Amino acid sequence: MVIMKFGGTSVGSAQRIKNLVPLINNDERKIVVLSAMSGTTNLLVEISASLYAKDLVKLKQQITEFELRYKNAIAELFSKKESLENANSLLNDHLNFIKSFTLDLFTVNEEKAILAQGELLSTALLNIYLAEQNISSVLLSALDFMRIDDAEEPDVHFIKKMISKSMESFSEEKLFITQGYICRNSFGEIDNLKRGGSDYTATLIGAATNATEVQIWTDIDGLHNNDPRIVEKTFAVTELSFDEAAELAYFGAKILHPTCVLPAKKENIPVRLLNTMQPTATGTIISNKPAPDRITAIAAKDHLTAIKIKSARMLLAYGFLRAVFEVFERYKTPIDMISTSEVAISLTIDSNKHLDEIINELQQFGLVEVDKNQTIICIVGTFGADKQGYASRIFDSLKNIPIRMISYGGSENNISLLVNSDLKKDALVSLNKGLF
């Protein structure tokens, strides 16, 4: 069994949906995981914002835009009367659902139900299209098997049990389709795996079904050595280890959801990144094969806040770091990067949700300084303790850029630097010139 995930651009128009058919219509048993058509989730986020803001005028415009986009796609996609009727009635159901939300009672739960509409639509449309082409397929609802627990972590036992239950009466079927991104939470409400979460759905399903491979089909020919949106002359890296890919995804390589590599690594299922627009290109294979000696790729993670706590109490003291970290634990705020000296500790967080409370509590330890608008530049490669020369090449490339923090030796695969976000582009370009 293989899992094939197609992202927003790969299902972004009627023509793109038609182009999927030769890729998925063969004898191999597979589960096809789809994102929403590109732009849809953003539009649903905007619709939710209008509902929160009780802005009826904007809401009406946005719903009209939504309707028009899908009406046009449906008219182009289907040629038979029956499928046109099916698809239009499906669209009406989803539109009526979106319109049913009232301005008075709009909370985060209603928002999550709205955000799920994109994936529900794209998968249903592909299923109707396949039927029109006389290709047999089964549409599975991810809401029946994809679940997160109280800690918002995937409930892997539930997923494994329920996906096999969903598939058990279709033992002869080759082609299954399901939604990426959407799930239910521990209360049974509709929820999601956060933006870009369809990649995570694909690897979770891969792990749950013990798939031979998870394929992530997108709009670029694999994971590049640097962010192609910012730096020119980047190139695809053909092979990555799970650890390298996990670091790059977590530290900002947008091609992969931050935690999607973990289920694949845990169950040792190779992940292949492929380009829908260029299906024969090699792409990138992520596996447990150890990476050769090299600098592999660079990624950047934005919107970080750096916090420095200066305290004489840290001098020769034990228990100080624990007390500091407990503050972050109390506010469920993950720390991304740390560096320490005898009298101070600096660290970064990527959520400012509880920043005021955190600062307030940290002040009991000493002087607290906060810098927002920070970016982690993460250089991934094979930097084991016996390796030499990599750090000097990195710092030489960055000699004109002020660096706020450095982390080296945390893992064998990662050297991270913190810079002001205004310097991100310069840092990525300089590293590209100096390292590749």
Q: Is 118 in the site for Mg ion (CB under 5 A)?
A: no
- Give the C-alpha separation, 233 to 227, whole Å: 10
Q: What are the residues whose beta carbons fall under 8 Å from the beta carbon of 128, sequence distance 6 or more?
A: 78, 83, 86, 87, 90
Q: To the nearest whole angstrom, how small is the minimum distance from the Cβ of residue 38 to ligand ASP?
A: 8
> By C-beta, is 10 or 86 nearer to Mg ion?
10
Q: Are strands 367-381 and 295-310 parallel, antiparallel or unpaired?
A: antiparallel
Residue type, 172: E
DSSP labels, 245-309: HHHHHHTT-TTS-TTTHHHHHHHT--EEEEETTSTTS--EEEESSPPPSSEEEEEEEEEEEEEEE
339 or 397: CB nearest ligand ADP: 397
Q: How far is the CB of 255 from ligand ADP (least distance, A)?
A: 4
Does residue 117 bind ligand ASP (CB under 6 A)? no
Identify the residue among 51, 175, 205, 220 touching ligand ADP (CB under 6 A): 220
Task: Give me the numbers of helices (H) and strands (E) for the chain, helices first please.
Answer: 14, 16
Minimum CB distance to ligand ASP smaller for 201 or for 226? 201
Q: Which two tokens stand for residue 317?
A: 């003291």
Distance in angstroms (rounded) separating the CA atoms of residues 5 and 142: 13
In this chain, which stretch among 86-94, 147-155, 206-214, 227-235 interacts with ligand ADP, using CB under 6 A? Answer: 227-235
Determine the length of the chain.
436
For residue 140, state whether it binds ligand ADP (rule: CB under 6 A).
Answer: no
Which among 72-80, 196-204, 390-398, 418-426 is the span making contact with ligand ASP, rule CB under 6 A? 196-204
- When CB distances are held under 5 to 8 angstroms depending on the partner's kind, the choice from ligand ADP, ligand ASP, Mg ion, none that residue 122 binds is none
Residue of the chain from 154, 196, 222, 283 that contacts Mg ion (CB under 5 A): 196
Q: What is the dihedral of CA 32, 37, 38, 39, to 10 degrees?
A: -140
Q: Which stretch binds ligand ASP (CB under 6 A): 144-152, 189-197, 272-280, 316-324?
A: 189-197
Site string for Mg ion, 3-42 (x = CB under 5 A): ----x-----------------------------------
Q: What φ, ψ does residue 271 adopt, rounded to 5°?
A: -115, 125
Question: Smallest distance from the beta carbon of 228 to ligand ADP, in angstroms?
Answer: 5
Q: Which of 4, 20, 112, 118 binds ligand ASP (CB under 6 A)?
A: 118
Residue 258 makes contact with ligand ASP by CB under 6 A = no
36 binds, among ligand ADP, ligand ASP, Mg ion, none (CB under 5 to 8 A by kind): ligand ASP
> Min. distance of Cβ 122 from ligand ASP in angstroms?
9
Residue 197 binds Mg ion, judged by CB under 5 A: no
Classify residue 399 as left (phi > 0), alpha (psi -120 to 50) or beta. Answer: alpha
- The residue among 13, 25, 133, 19 whose CA lies nearest residue 74 is 13
Angle between helix axes 40-53 and 56-77 (nearest 10 degrees) is: 160
* Least spacing, CB of residue 81 vs Mg ion, in Å: 35
- Restricting to residues 135-154, which ones interact with ligand ASP according to CB under 6 A? none
Q: Does 299 bind ligand ASP (CB under 6 A)?
A: no
**Residue 252 binds Mg ion, judged by CB under 5 A:** no
CA distance 31 to 140: 9
Identity of the residue, 181 or 328, whose beta carbon is nearer to ligand ASP in the bound complex:
181
Out of Mg ion, ligand ASP, ligand ADP, none, which partner does residue 223 contact, by CB within 5 to 8 A per kind? ligand ADP
Rg (CA), the chain: 24
Cα separation, 152 vs 185, in Å, equals: 7
Residue 188 contacts by C-beta under 8 Å, 6 or more apart in sequence?
Answer: none
- Number of residues lying near ligand ADP (CB under 6 A): 17
The residue among 339 and 416 lying less far from ligand ADP, judged by its C-beta, is: 416
| Closest of 364, 317, 372 to residue 340, by C-alpha | 317
Q: By the criterion CB under 5 A, which residues form the site for Mg ion?
A: 7, 196
Contact residues: ligand ASP, CB under 6 A: 7-8, 35-36, 41, 118, 180-181, 195-198
Q: Which residues bind ligand ADP (CB under 6 A)?
A: 7-10, 35, 196, 218-220, 223-224, 227-229, 253-255
